[in-house]
Each structure stands twice: as C-alpha cells, then as structure tokens.
Chains A and B, each alone.
Chain A
C-alpha cells in the first residue's frame, strides 16, 4: 500500500516536473534552439556505442556519431553529459539531458519511466569469463551450483539474470568495473553483458574470454530514451531516425563501429 502510494506520488511529481516542458512553446526543441546546444546523455564506458578513450579523451561510438548527426540536423552544438545505466532514469527525468543516446535496452522497467524512440540495435546477452577459468567452458556451464554470476546494478541484465538463474549464485556489483574485478580476481566466474561491451572486454583486456549463448537467450532491442510527454521532441527525433535510416547514415555508422551483428535488419532502407 505504502509502495503504491509512493509510486503514485512519484508519478504526480513527475507530471508536475515534466509536464511543464511538455508545453509547446516551452518544449525541449525550443530550449535546444534557444540554448544552441543539445544535451545528450552518454555512458562513456560503452565501447563502440559511446566510449571516451581514456588516452585521448575523444568520444567514439555509433551513438556519438548519431548524436553529432542529430546536433547537425538541429543546427546546434552537442553537449555530451556523462551518465550510466544506474543513473539513466534520474538523469532523464530530472532533465539533465535532452536525450540519452547510449544504446539503452528497452526494458519494461525503463519503459515505465522513459519514452523510447524506435530501436536501432538488438543484442543478446553474452557472458565474459577469464581465459583460464576451468568451470565455464560453454554457456550451459553457467547456471550450475557453485558458479558465481556477476551483473552490474541497474543494467538490464540484473533483472533478467535474477529471473533466469536457477542454480548459480548472482552477485550484483555497484559498478560495472566491479563486476569485471570480481571475475578477474576469481571471486565470480562470469559477468553478463551485451554485445558491444563484450567486444570491449575482448579488445582491451588480455584475460577476458567470451561465452556466447548456444541459442538465442534473451534479445533486448536498443533505442534512445527521452522524457515522456514531449511529443514534438519525440516526433522530431523519430523523423530524424527515419531519415538516417532511409539515407543509410545509420547503417554506415553501425558498420563503421563493426556492430553489424546486432543491427536491426531492414532498417537500412533498402
């Protein structure tokens, strides 16, 4: 009962807070135009999607490309705001950014709070273990007694794995780095992640080993997220996505960042 009430309160608060920019003359679009910049939330650790190279501090990834294309369309600067999956909902609902562009998994929990655009990628779940781990050889070795599976708090994998694991022990870490440390130190056997992050692990560490599901395990479509209620802003972004899908800009970006395996087929417009 108390929870219900709290939820209701949040919802009302949300309407109060978010309802205001929903007004036509005071929507995100107008604010962006007025400010001359669009604030895009990214997770700078998201390799291939929105990754900040620690050596150069340069941003790289498909969604960085798409954000810049968006800024160009809008004719404004792009202001990248660091976020993460743990902070995503707060960052959006509290309007710290106009749009979150870092391949956000469309989960029901998030859909409750956020407004998603059409998905542009879809990824299954992948496991990362160490090269020398003797317990985990294939995907089927994961859900076994004694196996410790790490997930990062707030990621879409947390609820999914909590739901799916029957025998293995789930270890939820506060940070994404945490799950990697657990696995590398041997306190956990695997951590669950998606395709882009698994690629990063394989390319940047020498201990990681990919364990792919033997068949489709759990597909999650990825999209951009924004505040609910600002239909014009949402429509504008949808139109933008329609355009970049049509003209192949999106597909070119996917290819540039070698994400074809998770591209949503049929969106290239051909």
Chain B
C-alpha cells in the first residue's frame, strides 16, 4: 500500500520534472532560434548600411574627380594648373589630356606623354563625345606609363582610368583622363570595416570586380554564379544570401552608385556572422542548464525530504502495529502499575504460567513467588530497577499448577514525563527446556573429551571437530584437522574397496568398526580401532559422522611379539623348530605334486660348548647370531634357515633338480658353500674366532617320508659327519654318499685335466648325398690318466654343473679353430667345415660374441667354415638376447645348427625367428626309421620342414645302409654316423679324408 503510494508520488514528481525540463528546453531553443534570425537580419542590415556609406563616399569622390576634370578642361590646361589638380586629391594618381589621336598630350606625370588611351576602353560605351564620367577596366600599374591589363592575380599596384569629355564650345571638345588611385578606396574601406565584418567589393556595372578588401580576390574577374547583374536590373539596392565558390553562405548587401557605373558590395560569411550568436547560444544554454540543474536539485532534495517524512509517518504507524503485535508475542508479558499491581497480561503469559488475565488483573504481582529465592535476591531486583530502570535475569517461578520453572525475566520501568515510575513491564520466557539442553551439552562436551580420540565430520566428511585425544594420537592439532577430511590420516595400507565397504556399511547399518592402519602427522603408520557412527537429520539423511578411534599399536605389538615367540627364535630371529616343521610339511606336500626334489641340512658348530664355557654365553649368543646371518646368505630366497636350539641349525632346500643324483649334487654344492662360509673367521667383539661346522644331509623323498622321519635322518647324517671327524659333510643315504664322493673326485680330476691338457678333440665326418665329406663335428674326449679315455656323457653334465664347461668349451672352440686354420692351407681340405657344440651356459655368457671373435682373431680361422651347434634348451632363455648374439656372429660368417632337433622344446615360431642355417635330426629318430613308423614320419617331417623354412638339414647317428637309403629317399642332403666313420683323432681323420676321397671317386666312377 505505502510502496504503491511512494511509487505514484515518484511518478508524479518525475512527470513534473520532465514537463519543466521540456518547456525550459523548448523556450530556450525558441529564444535562441529567434536570436539567430535577428542576428542574420541585423548583419544584413549592417552590411547594407556599410554599403550605403561606402557608396556615398565613392559617388562623392567620383563627383569631385569629374568636377576637377571638367574645371581643368574649362580653365585651361597650363603647366601650373595641371599639378594643381592633384593637390589634396589622394584619389588621383595623375590627370591628363588626350588628343585627337587618343594619345596623352599633357599630363601631370611627364612619363605618361604619348601613351595611347583608346575611347573604346571606357564605359558606358560612346563613339561620340559624351558629358558623363566614364570608367575603364582596372589596370595593373602605377599609372598610364606602366599600365598593363590586370592579370590572373591581384596586381601589386593598380589604377582605374576614367575619362570625361568636356564641351569647350559648340564644336570643340576636350577629353580629360585621370588614373584613379585604387589604394585610396581600399584604404578607406579597410579603415572602416574589419576583415571579420565582411569583404567590401567595388564592381563595374557588368559585374566585373574592380577592387576587393579580400587580398586574394582577383580584380577584373567575373564570378561565374553571380546574379548581381540580374538583381541590378531589378533594383539598384538590395541584400541577399548566396553561396560562394568555397561553399560558404554569404550575406551580401549591394548598392549601385547613384551617378556612376559602379556597384558596392558588402559580403560577409554567414557562419562568421553567426559566431557571436553561437557564443551567445552556448552561454545561454549553459546558464539555462545550470539554472535547471539547480532547480532540479532543489526539487529533488525537497522531494526526498518529503519522501522521508512520509516514510517516517509510515514507520510510526508500523511501529504502533508491531507494538500491538509484540504484546501478543511468544514471550509472556505483564504490565503493572507503579504499585506493582497487574494491569494486563498477554496470551503467552497465560500459556506459560497458566494464569488467565481475569484471574490476575488487579492482583499484586507476587502470585508466582516460588519461595526459592531469598530476600536479598528481591532486594537486588528492586535496586537495579531503581538504579537503571531495568532488571533481567533468571528467576524460579511457580506456575498455576504449582510446578516451579526457571524463567528468564526482564523488567523495565516505564517513566512518566515527571521522571516518576508509572508502570513496570515484565517479559518472561520459560527456560526449562533450555536449562535441560545446557546440561545435556555439558555432559556431551565432557564425554567428547574422553580418552578415545574423537572427531566429528559433516555429511561431506569434512572434519568439524576433534578432541584432545585425537590430537594426542594423530599428532594433528584442531586447526590442522578441521576443514580436512579423514583422508588426511590415510596410510595407503587399505585399498579403495576397503573404504567403499566401510561407507557402504555406514550407509546401511549406520555404524562401522574395525582395525584401520592410519598415518600420524609424523609419518608413522599405526593401527587403530575405529568406530564410526552416523548421525541422521530429521529427514533421515546423514548429517554427521562421529568417529572414535583408539591407538592399538601396543596391542598389535604384543600380538606380534607373541606370534614371534611362537614361530621364531628370539636370539637369531630365524624360524624355530615349529615353523620349520610347518614349512617342511608344506614342502613335502608340494614335492608330492611335482618332480622336484628337496633336501634337509642339519648344521652343528664344532666345539661350540667350549666357546660357551670359555667366553661365556654372551659370546656364544653373538657367534650364533653371526652364524645365522651367514647361513641366510648362503641360500636362495625360497629356502628356509631355522635354529632348533643351542648350536643346531637346519637348512631346508626346496625346488632342487629332479633326479636324486642331481639333487644330491646341488645339495652338496650348497653344503660346500655353507661350510666354506662358516669356516671364515668371526669377529666377536675384537676376538678373532674360528669354528667349523658339521653338516648332515638327507634328500627329501616325498613318497615315503614323514617330517619326523626326515628330521631323524638328517640328524643321523649329522651324527655321521661328527663321527667322521667334524668339519665334514655327510649324506644319510650311503649310496648317495658314495655317488657324491665320486662326483667330487671327478670334479677335482676335471680341473686337473683342464690344467694338464688331458682333453683332445675327435672329428666325426659329415657327408653329403653324393658321398663327399663336407665337414666334421668336433667331439671332446678326456684322456684320464687313471681311467683312460672318458666318454663325454660322464663328465659334460658335471662340467656344466660346476661351471667348468666354460673353460672346456673355450678350449674346444679354440682347438677346432686352429684346426680350421691349418686346413685352410692344405689342398683338398680347405672346404672342410667343423661343427662345434656350444652349451647353454657357455652361450649365455654376456661376452660370448666377443670371446668367439677373439678366438677367430687369435687363430685366423675362416668364420665361414665354423658352425656352432646349439641345443633347443637355449630357447628357454631370453630369446631376444639369443637372436641378437646369433645375428652378431652370423654377420661374421659363422653358421648355426640346431642340435638334437625334435627331442626338446621345439616351436615353429622360434625356428622362424632364430637365424639358423641347419637342423640336425636327432639320432633317436634316425635309429628307428626302419622299425618305428612314427619316427619315420618325424624324420620325414623334419626334412620337409627344413626345406620349407629354407634351412639345411643333417641326420646324425646314421649307422646302416637302410637308414641311409631311407633318408636319401626323404631328400635329406647330409649325414653323419658310424656308417661313414666313428669320431676319429685328427691324424686318423685326415687319413680317412684321403682314403674316402679316393674311394668315393672310384665309387662314382663305378
């Protein structure tokens, strides 16, 4: 309602302002427009006045000139009278008399004499003498003597010739001419009119310009668009507006001379003429604008004041309404007179206290007294009211039903004009609920500061509040934690699934608890027991999460300790007997499923008791710790080192080679390593101590052993070792012991053999389908001093195991290469190739390529004659590396043959990728081609495969003609075997070559 009134008031005000503005503007505009018109009129009038004045001057001057000339002619032209004519006549340059030949006969300036002055030049035109002053065109020059027609630009000096025929008597005429000083008139004009006021022009009746105060104007010119001549025909006096050549609007006033053929024009630029008006208009506009602005400002201020008053009236009315409403507010109100007798109570008062208005009006205001406050309390209330005129505080009051409630009461004394109290107004609120809530809050606050770390997060999991225990546990202060999410504490030990489950549980059950690994501010990761409870709002939406966390580090540590004690030896931290047995059981069960073997080693320190007795248990314990460390360093990751107690250690080896002898050898090698390591001296706090172990070994046989049985066997083996004089290794199985011992001896012999060059090479010929010997396979033989010639099968595996294969292989390669080099020069042998077997271990050496290159360089053998035979097991290794090495060697010309093809792991993919030259059909297939149809198929397939892959192929172990014939039929191009020759020492091989060559030729010839 009031807003609408305000709006309409404003509209009216704006409308009035608009009307005033519009009328003021239009009045100003009209006034200015009028002024402008007046100004133009005035200027034109002024120009006309000026033109009139100048015309007057011109006519009079010409009149004087005419009379001078006439009197000169009449009075006679003597030498004395001529100059007299010029006295006081600044408008004349000279006067002269013209003779019948139109030449100057006499002149005030002798230089003019004889100059021709044609009558025809003068206007108005007259062939016969005429008694009027006639004017010629303006002439450039000072006088007749240097006259020249006016040019294209204003001349520096000019004059206008005039002529007058004077009748001397009835028959005689005299023509007198004068040169009129144009400067005289220009001086006159420019002295009387500023260039700004206008341009004065003197023109002939034909419109030609004679003079102009505008220096740029060219005398003698005709203005092309000039309509002065036309106007002259109408009236000799006039004024008009015109547009000049430059496009300016000119105000022109003209006036023709009353007596002579001249017209005076005064022209002014309208724009210039209006410049004054423009200034005036601007000034007027500015003044009007300022006055209007001031008036508007005043009106606006007045309006705003009016508005404010109106608003104040409105709000006064509103206040009164509010006061009425306020009295019926939620607070109980009671009004008493100065004698504290109730005058009025409101509905809320009744609702709170139960007392109805009609029950209490007129009553003394003590009907709610609870009796819970003493006299001092009421005295304080009265003092406060008397002093400040108000009191407020909590008070216990009795309701109508007799119950006592805490109220918050405000009493205000109302004073009359004389300062005396007239009324008291009491406002009271029942604060029973609030009191209860306060207590609850206090309890909650205390509960929150418990020993458990607690934090409260909102629905977005932003932490709102943490307690001191939280800070103590996590290290994060209140200021650091608040505003963060619990992510702050994340350790990274739990995956996102863990948290997803947690929140899912919270969503469904409203609570979650469990163990969580979190990170303290210090970075330390610790376990905590976390309980989260969801708080929901009235609509059932999650509003808060309350989390309680307990640091369970100590508990976890205790748990860990217990577990450790149960499974680990506290001194060495090695697994104890219990864990060992556990693992042994596990090994037993897993061995049962695979072909692999295991072994159990019992290790006992010799004379440990003496150390204990001599240096004490501390020293003994220290030694045990050292031994534990060394043992752990001797085994592979999957193996177990355990301590049974005292100086008894056990090593459980898992995953050994299949086959008992191999497994035994492997176990033996580990035992050797252990023995060697434990034999090293120990540094026991400055004491250099030496001790030796005894080791008992049993292989783990899944079939028939239990854990206890195995432990017993190993123990027995250890006992055997001790009995054999300590620092010894013993197997439980006597056969095994024997085998291991003989292997150890053989290994020793092998080393010696290498040192003493007991090895030699035999060569088995390789023959093509035409029966020509194309090469030989080099085969190593061991000339054992005691055992005689040892077959490779007996020592090569051992050499592989012990790594002796590397020097041996190197020796074989070098010897073969030397042979190649020596054959290279021999006639009929230069084409012989030698195939050398390369073991996997040898090939795997990182510098294998370099080794081969070095050998080739040393021996100067032709690499094209060298063929390296590899086995399929090579492909179990890094194929990329194998291919790279083969490619490198092949680039040198060396070729590769795949040995024993068909027996092992063959893959067409590998065959395609390896840069091979030859496949070698294993003798097993060759042997049975006659008897076994499968083998025949295989042999046939290999030949076909090789052909398809573009590889060469050779069959080994060819022993019979049938086999040979079969292979020939399959298209196999090369053969090796006893059918041709056994492997031969070098001398015999060379003899064979010679003999075979001859025989072969014979055979071919046959």
Residues of A within 8 A of B (CB): 130-135, 148, 181, 184-187, 206-207
Give A131 to B91 CA distance when docked, in angstroms: 14
A172 to B282, CA, bound (A): 58
CB neighbours (8 Å) of A181 from chain B are 86-88, 90
A186 contacts which chain B residues (CB < 8 A)?
A: 93, 142, 157, 159, 181-184
- Say whether B738 faces chain A, with CB atoms less than 8 Å apart: no
Alpha-carbon separation in the docked complex, A186 to B211 (Å): 15
**Which among A131, A133, A148, A186 has the greatest number of chain B C-beta atoms within 10 A?**
A186
What are 12 sample pairs from A and B whose C-beta atoms fall under 8 A apart? Answer: A131-B187, A134-B157, A184-B181, A185-B89, A186-B181, A186-B183, A187-B93, A187-B94, A206-B188, A207-B187, A207-B188, A207-B191
Q: Contact: A132 with B92, CB < 8 Å? A: no
Q: Does B340 contact A (CB under 8 A)?
A: no
How far apart are the CA atoms of A40 and B91 in the complex, in Å?
Answer: 38
Q: Would you call A135 and B183 a contact (CB within 8 A)?
A: no
Contacts A130-B187, A181-B87, A186-B142 given; indicate if A135 touches B156 (C-beta within 8 A). Answer: yes
Contact between chains at B184 and A185 (CB < 8 Å): yes
Q: A134-B215, A207-B191 are in contact. Are A184 and B184 (CB under 8 A)?
A: yes
In the complex, besides A181-B87, A185-B91, 6 extra interface pairs with C-beta distance below 8 angstroms are A134-B154, A181-B90, A186-B181, A186-B183, A187-B94, A187-B143
B504–chain A nearest beta-carbon distance, Å: 108
Q: How far is the CB of A52 from chain B (nearest CB, A)?
A: 19
Chain B min CB distance to A130 (Å)? 5
Q: Which residue of A lies closest to B155 (CB)?
A: A134
* Neighbouring A residues of B183 by C-beta, 8 Å: 130, 132-133, 186
Q: What CA separation (Å) do A206 and B90 show in the bound complex? A: 13
Contact B157 A135 (CB under 8 A): yes
Tell me, rounded to whole Å, the shortest Cβ–Cβ distance linking A136 to chain B.
10
Shortest C-beta distance, B86 to chain A (Å), equals 7
Whether B832 is near chain A, meaning CB under 8 Å from some CB there, is no
Q: Which residues of A contact B188 (CB under 8 A)?
A: 206-207
Are B190 and A132 in contact, CB atoms less than 8 angstroms apart?
yes
Cα–Cα, bound, A38→B154 (Å): 57
Contact with B86, one of A131, A132, A185 (Cβ below 8 angstroms): A185
Nearest 6 CB-CB pairings of A with B: A132-B186, A206-B191, A184-B90, A207-B187, A186-B181, A185-B90
Pairwise interchain contact A185-B181, C-beta atoms closer than 8 A? yes
- Taken together as a complex, chains A and B put the C-alpha atoms of A207 and B183 apart, in Å, by 9
Known contacts: A185-B90, A186-B157. The answer to whether A131 contacts B142 by CB under 8 A is no
Q: Which of A131, A148, A185, A187 contacts B186 (CB 8 A)?
A: A131
Cβ–Cβ contact B156 & A132, under 8 A: no
Q: How far is the CA of A185 from the CA of B159 in the complex (A)?
A: 10
Residues of B within 8 A of A135 (CB): 156-157
Chain A residues in 8 Å Cβ range of B109: 187
State the CA gap A131–B155 with chains docked (Å): 15
Closest to B89 in A: A185
Interface set of B (CB-CB < 8 Å, partner A)? 86-94, 109, 142-143, 154-157, 159, 181-184, 186-188, 190-192, 215
Contacts of B155 in A (CB 8 A): 134
Residues of A within 8 A of B186 (CB): 131-132
CA distance A181 to B83 in the complex (A): 12
User: Which residues on the B side are within 8 Å of A131 (C-beta)?
Assistant: 186-187, 190-191
Report A-chain residues with C-beta under 8 Å of the C-beta of B157: 133-135, 186
Nearest B residue to A129 by beta-carbon distance? B183
Whether the Cβ atoms of A132 and B187 lie closer than 8 Å is yes
A137 nearest CB across to chain B (Å): 11
B-side contacts of A206, CB under 8 Å: 187-188, 191-192
- B891 CB → nearest A CB, Å: 104
Q: Which residues of A contact B89 (CB under 8 A)?
A: 185
Closest chain-B Cβ to A211's Cβ sits at a distance in Å of 15
CA distance A19 to B215 in the complex (A): 62
- Residue in contact with B142 in the complex, picked from A134, A184, A187, CB distance below 8 Å: A187
How far, in whole Å, are A157 and B309 apart by their CA atoms in the complex?
91
B86, B87, B90, B191 pick with most chain A CB within 10 angstroms:
B90
Knowing A134-B157, A135-B156 are in contact, say whether A185-B93 is a contact too (CB < 8 A): yes
Give Cα A131 to B183, complex, Å: 8
Q: How far is the CA of A135 from the CA of B157 in the complex (A)?
A: 7
Q: How far is the CA of A185 from the CA of B143 in the complex (A)?
A: 11
> Complex Cα distance A131/B159, Å?
16
CA distance A148 to B157 in the complex (A): 12
- With both beta carbons as reference points, the residue of chain B lying nearest to A184 in the complex is identified as B90
- Chain B residue numbers with a CB within 8 Å of A134 are 154-157, 215
- In the complex the two chains form, what is the Cα distance from A134 to B158 in whole Å? 10
Least CB distance from A124 to B in Å reads: 25
Question: How distant is A25 from chain B, measured CB to nearest CB, in Å?
Answer: 50
CB-CB under 8 A from B159, the residues of chain A are 186
B215 to A, closest residue via Cβ: A134
A185 to B83, CA, bound (A): 13
Residues in A neighbouring B156, C-beta threshold 8 A: 134-135
In the complex, chain B residues whose CB is within 8 Å of the CB of A132 = 182-183, 186-187, 190
Q: Does A185 contact B187, Cβ atoms closer than 8 Å?
A: no
Look across to chain A and name the residue whose beta carbon is closest to the beta carbon of B86: A185
A91 to B415, CA, bound (A): 119
Residues from chain B with a CB closer than 8 A to the CB of A185 are 86, 89-93, 181, 184
Nearest residue (CB) in A for B211 is A132
In Å, the complex CA distance between A115 and B186 comes to 46
Enumerate chain B residues within 8 angstroms of A187, measured Cβ to Cβ. Answer: 93-94, 109, 142-143
With A and B bound together, what is the CA distance between A211 and B969 in angstroms?
142
Chain A residue with the shortest CB-CB distance to B179: A186
- Least Cβ distance of A156 to chain B in Å? 26
> How distant is the Cα of A111 from the Cα of B88 in the complex, in angstroms?
35
- Identify the closest chain B residue to A136 (Cβ): B156
- How distant is the Cα of A186 from the Cα of B182 in the complex, in angstroms? 8
Cα A131 to Cα B215 in complex, Å, equals 12
Nearest A-chain residue to B190, judged by Cβ: A131
* Chain A min CB distance to B187 (Å): 4
Specify which chain B residues have a CB less than 8 angstroms from the CB of A207 in the assembled complex. Answer: 90, 184, 187-188, 191
Distance (whole angstroms) from the CB of B574 to the closest CB of chain A:
124
Cα of A31 to Cα of B216 in the assembled complex, Å: 65
